[in-house]
Amino acid sequence: MSRKDNSGKGKTTNKTGKPSGRGAGNTRKRSSARGNAPLSRKKPTVKKESKDGKTNHQKNPDGIRLNKYIANSGICSRREADTYIKTGLVSVNGKIINQMGHKVQLNDDVRFDGRRINPEPDTYILLNKPKSVATTTSQSKGLTVMDLISNATTASVKPIGRLGRNATGLLLFTNDDKLVKKLHSKGMPRLFHIELDKNLKAFDLQKIEEGLTINGKTVEVEEISYVENSPKKEVGLKIKNMGNSIIRDIFDHLGYDVVKVDCVTIAHLTKKDLPRGRWKILTKKEVELFSMM
């Protein structure tokens, strides 16, 4: 015999046993493709002191079974993974592993038949970086771009290329090693809106256009021009170089101070519908366009 509970007066329950009716639907869903949701509460990171006295993030002591790691990467099923492990086709951090039940960490170098595999789905995130945020994965640099995309994914993504702390604009993140290697090898075209401390002289613009030699290295740009309907101290510069300081190096070499730097486009990606400080998950079509580069 059930006992009547007067404390639940005015409430009803649905088939799942969860409260329904007014006040029961207060859980707000966030879009998986936009960074407009409030920051979620996170469990504190467990840290430990290393032998040299430095504080390091503690790895998951349990890890993940090697056959599950392989299966999650899309190579095969767990049962098939066990067979491949037995035959010596799998290595972890450079060592062949034959032991069933061996556990690994997500950041271990796991290779199947010599090719590195990843148990996380390929993820691509575009951030419109605000000023005074560091482009780094280090936690000792104050507010970083990794903090801004912390709700975007659980995948171990990293920024491609860099923007200075006081620079603004687009920054791309991914865990797709193949794309990262391609972009670092061929370069990633980025268009910057730059403001200088004084008007850029026409012959200096031509020098940049033709290519400069700075500290013994040739620096080439894709395009450079004055920004339309703006003072001549504002220029648009497209460059494939992935470095953090290359823009300041160019203008310092010619005697100009850089006041503002804003990354307007990355390849085919733009800031359309992406306010400062927000992120979005790239669509399948946006990702596929990188194959045409």
- The domain that holds 221 is classified in CATH as 3.30.2350.10
- Kindly state whether residues 181 and 124 are assigned to the same domain: yes
pLDDT at residue 138 in the model: 78
d(CA 212, CA 221): 9
CATH number, residue 78: 3.10.290.10
Task: Evaluate whether residue 58 is within a structural domain.
Answer: no
Residue 171 lies in a domain: yes
Please give the pLDDT value at position 244.
Answer: 75
Asked if 210 and 199 sit in the same domain, the reply is yes
In terms of domains, do 137 and 176 share one? yes
256 and 201 both lie in a single domain: yes
Residues 284 and 144 occupy one common structural domain = yes
On whether both 221 and 83 belong to a single domain, the answer is no
Number of domains composing the chain: 3
Determine the pLDDT at residue 53: 37
What pLDDT, on the 0 to 100 scale, is given for residue 243?
77
pLDDT of residue 10: 45
Residues 158 and 275 reside in one and the same domain: yes
Question: Percentage of the chain with pLDDT > 70?
Answer: 78
- 28 belongs to a structural domain: no
CATH code for the domain in which residue 137 is found? 3.30.70.580
Element (H, E) at 78: helix 78-86
Element holding 274 (H helix, E strand): none
Same-domain check for residues 182 and 238:
no
pLDDT at 256: 98
**Tell me: the pLDDT tens digits for 173-192?**
998 888 999 998 899 999 99
Q: In this predicted structure, what is the pLDDT of residue 253?
A: 96
The DSSP bridge pattern shows strands 258-266 and 269-270 to be: antiparallel
Which of 75, 103, 101 shows the shortest CA–CA distance to 89? 75
Q: Distance between CA atoms of 142 and 130, rounded to whole angstroms? A: 14
In a domain, 82, yes or no: yes
Q: What is the pLDDT of residue 155?
A: 86
Positions in the chain short of pLDDT 70: 1-61, 140-141
Domain range spanning residue 172? 120-187+271-293
Q: By CB neighbour count within 10 A (0-12 exposed, 13-18 middle, 19+ buried), where does 84 fall?
A: middle
Residue 156 C-alpha from the chain's centroid? 8
At residue 154, the pLDDT reads: 83
Whether 148 and 283 map to the same domain: the answer is yes
